[in-house]
Structure 1
Amino acid sequence: MTLSPAQIRSLTWVAIAVAIWALLTVLAPVLMPFVLAAVMAYALHPLVEKLNDRRIPRWLGAGVAIALLMLVLLAVVLLIVPVITKQVPLLKEQVPALLDRVNDSLVPLAGRFGIDLQIDVAQVREWLKDLVTGHEQELINGLLSSLRIGGSALAAVFGNLVLTPIVAYYLLLDWAGLVERSKRLIPPRWLPSVQSFLDETDEVLGQYLRGQLLVMGVLAVFYTVALALVGLKLALPIGVFTGLAVFVPYLGFGLGLVMGLLAAVLQFQSLTGVALVGVVYAVGQVAESMYVTPRLLGERIGLHPIAVIFALMAFGHLFGFVGVLIALPASAVLLVGIRRAKAGYLASDLYLPGAATAPVAPVQPKDGAE
């Protein structure tokens, strides 16, 4: 069977795609820091360009941009430290007292229905004592054993933490040249359509990043102020963390809610205080879902809430926690491709049968013409 030139080109592109997919599958663990570095460089590229326009050398602008990003990530991590260091010791002291109060209310209520229901506070106290202050030697031995077993994996994690910003720095130094060299690999007949797709994708991603930063800032201020008004002592770290953690949809809010309720239980020792913190998070979630995110982010991307949930589950299943992080921006890119595919389908003969062979309407002669 003789293949036509068009069929040979199609099979060649299919073979190239299969080879690239197989190579990416084999090298996936090695490529992860480079992919993260490319995403980091893409996000920081506009900042480097603005600094370069102000006559700041590109090498210095790239270093400043990466340093700022690292400081922000470090600040987010450090926000959790005081919460944990203050909350964990309080568990041993305040949870048994809280359970005593629950018993005082629960036992008489259950007795009315003939039920013998009571929480063993002494057992809970011993469990918390063992959890917080016991088994230190076992934990140390287990940690050392895991380090010996998974030392290479641990070294790889720390290596990637160092490698990713370094690779991002070099990508930022030569971002324009890298983009230009990549475009040269595109067949010239495809370049206009590919360039149009890249321009639209870049616009959507830029809108996503700007909208996400606005949402994070607004929610961080809201949760900090609202939690401070209800009297929560850890309002600043928990509020700021909750606002910034919404970058990971649903998961960030869930972590902030758990931290806020735990802090409220340990501080207030009453249902009223816990309920007030719960109301703050309920109002924040409603405001985020109904107003903040649709106005500042949703309308910019054009993703339906159901599509957002599906994207989070699908990317999380395929790529784990990193997939959850990249779910929305990756979905925005896919949305551009889907829009173009839909437009091509609606204009094709498959959707409009006979459109290509439809009779052409005769041209009416102008006045005075025969």
Structure 2
Amino acid sequence: MTLQRRITFWMIALAGTILFLWVFSPILLPFVAGMALAYLLDPVADRLESIGMNRLWATITILILFLLIFVLVLVLLLPVLGNQLASLIAALPDYVSQLQTLIVDNFGDKLRRISGFGSSDVKSSLGNLMTQGAGWLANLLKSIWSGGQALMSIVALFVVTPVVAFYLLLDWDRMTAKVDSWLPREHRDLVHKLVHEIDVAVAGFVRGQVSVCLILGTFYAVGLAVLGLKFGLLIGIGAGLISFIPYIGATTGFILSLGVALVQFWPEWHMIVAVLAVFGTGQFLEGNILQPKLVGERVGLHPVWLMFALFAFGYLFGFVGMLVAVPVSAAIGVLARFALAQYLTSPLYYGTNAPHAPAERESDG
């Protein structure tokens, strides 16, 4: 009955959390963003404290510097990116038409031999496919643009988020100590162990992946802009920022860049190859240098599990869901591994007639 009551309690707590997120998701964005900001900046505050600065001034210094950098980037980049996004949306139908003509004129014979269709059939099928794809992409870009405008017009995001981050960052150590004092003494060490594993997973991914996204976004944007690719700054930064979803950022940026490069540079193959080389180099850097060094393998989040969590939480709770998807999925992963370890040492796994099976297994090993 004790185990049953514990399971019932945690199931009720989980249901209550999901209900809370679902009901209040429209107003949670500034608070979740403030909590995420405080979590990301807490190690910096601890470092400043270690060199003699008190917590209050450390918090004020960090937030002022962060807000200055954020506003500076916003003022410099937002107008440029907004103009490029609006231009890309307007030019997308013309780009699709030119790309369709280019493919049919240069590769039509090969497509006819492969498919067995006539020239008009190939052009019609290809046109329908590209039109549907372009329509989906245009709707996506419009939703991002309108959503971004709506997001930027919400004063609460810029007022409430820094206030929430300030108070949480200021009281972070006191809050964690208070929560620690509420833990049952019998299970305190176990809870500490699980919370530490969750923190390692979340911190290792979030802080590392933020760095990876910023580095990749800068690399892609600079590389494409140097090559003179139209909308290169927008495509590069966008591809870098959505690189937290495995393979999605690079694939999206690659497809957009390839389409724009074909229309803009054809038949200059060396320029098209150079555009592809930017993404090839970025993927090499991400897979062999950035991910191992900044994120590492200790995170324990499988790419498939991460993608499912991001899409599922985004579908259920919108943008707020995407913000909490990584920490929640990391916590679920840690708890699932703990539950599996408990099961593998329990009588349920070995059977009621083998009470000493774990010891025998260790002795056999």
TM-score bracket, shorter-length normalisation: 0.5 to 0.7
Paired with 1:225 and 1:334, the residues of 2 have a C-alpha distance of: 38
Could you say if the C-alpha distance between residues 197 and 7 of structure 1 is closer, same or farther in structure 2, counting changes exceeding 3 Å?
closer
What do you get for the CA RMSD once the two structures are aligned?
Answer: 4.6
1:230-269 maps to which residues of 2 (within 5 A)?
A: 230-232=227-229, 238-240=235-237, 242-253=239-250, 256-257=253-254, 260-261=257-258, 264=261, 267-268=264-265
Displacement after TM superposition at 1:202 (Å): 1.9
- 2:16 aligned with 1:17: no
Q: 1:349 to 1:168 in 2, by over 3 A?
A: same
Match of 2:286 in 1: 288
Check the 8 A contact 1:79/1:238 in 2, yes or no. no
User: Given residue 216 of structure 2, which amino acid in structure 1 is its aligned partner?
Assistant: L
Judged with a 3 Å threshold, the aligned counterparts in structure 2 of structure 1 residues 351 and 98 are, in CA distance, closer, same or farther, namely closer
Residue aligning to 1:314: 312
Deviation, 1:180, is: 1.5
Report if the CA contact (8 A) 2:217-2:238 is conserved: yes
Contact 1:312–1:327 (CA<8 Å) still a contact in 2?
A: yes
**CA shift for structure 1 position 115:** 4.7
TM-score, with length taken from structure 1 = 0.67
1:134 aligned partner = none
Report Cα offsets for 1:251-308 as digits up to 9, x if no partner.
Answer: 5445544664566467536563445424432553465357643564351312333323
Structure 1 counterpart SS, 2:188: helix
The more displaced of 210-219 and 153-162 is 153-162
Q: How does 1:270-349 map to 2 (within 5 A)?
A: 270=267, 272=269, 273-274=271-272, 276-285=274-283, 288-289=286-287, 292-293=290-291, 296-297=294-295, 299-349=297-347
Given the alignment of the two structures, is residue 356 of structure 1 paired with residue 355 of structure 2, yes or no? yes
For 2:320 and 2:46, the matched residues in 1 are separated by: 27
Among 55, 59, 63, the alignment partner of 2:60 is 63
Could you say which structure has the larger radius of gyration? Answer: 1
Q: Which has the higher contact order (CA 8 A, sep 6+)?
A: 2
Aligned partners of 1:252 and 1:359: how far apart in 2?
46
Structure 1 residue corresponding to 2:212, chosen from 210, 215, 219: 215
More moved, 276-285 vs 16-25: 16-25
Gaps of 5+ in 2: 124-145, 361-365
- Against the structure 1 CA distance between its residues 326 and 68, is the aligned structure 2 distance closer, same or farther, given a 3 Å change threshold? farther
Structural mapping, 1:167-186, within 5 Å: 167-186=164-183
- Aligned equivalent of 2:37: 40
How many residues are aligned here? Answer: 325
1:107-126 → structure 2 map (5 Å cutoff): 115=119
Tell which deviates more after alignment, 186-195 or 225-234.
Answer: 225-234
Partner AA of 1:215 in structure 2? V
C-alpha deviation, 1:46, in angstroms:
0.8
More displaced, 45-54 or 256-265?
256-265
- 1:219-238 residue CA offsets vs partner (Å, 9 max, x unmatched): 24543564366454765665
1:157-168 to structure 2, matched below 5 A, reads 157-168=154-165
Q: Is the 8 A contact 1:224 1:235 kept in 2?
A: yes
Once the two structures are superposed, what CA deviation does each residue of 1:192-224 show, in whole Å capped at 9, x if it has no partner?
Answer: 211121122222223224432442355245435
**Contact 1:79–1:241, Cα closer than 8 Å, also in 2:** no
Q: Which runs of 5+ in 1 are unaligned?
A: 120-145, 147-152, 362-370
Partner SS state of residue 205, structure 2: helix
Call closer, same or farther: CA 1:358–1:262 in 2, change over 3 Å: closer
Structure 2 CA distance, aligned partners of 1:195 and 1:62? 26
Worse-matched range after superposition: 65-74 or 341-350: 65-74
Q: Partners in 2 of 1:212 and 1:359 — Cα distance?
A: 39
Q: Residues 89 and 34 (structure 1 numbering): CA distance in 2 closer, same or farther, change over 3 Å?
A: closer
Which segment is superposed worse, 293-302 or 182-191? 293-302
Provide closer, same or farther for how the CA distance between residues 56 and 98 of structure 1 changes in structure 2, counting only shifts above 3 A: same
How far residue 95 of structure 1 moved from its aligned partner, in angstroms, is 8.2
1:97 to 1:200, Cα distance in 2 relative to 1, 3 A: closer
Contact 2:313 2:325 in 1 (8 A): yes
Bigger mean CA deviation after superposition, 39-48 or 268-277: 268-277
Q: How many angstroms does 1:182 deviate by?
A: 1.6
CA contact (8 A) 1:91 1:266 kept: no
In structure 2, what is the Cα distance between the partners aligned to 1:261 and 1:188? 59
Q: Identity over the aligned pairs, expressed in percent?
A: 35
Paired with 2:359 and 2:339, the residues of 1 have a C-alpha distance of 27
SS state of the match for residue 246, structure 1?
helix
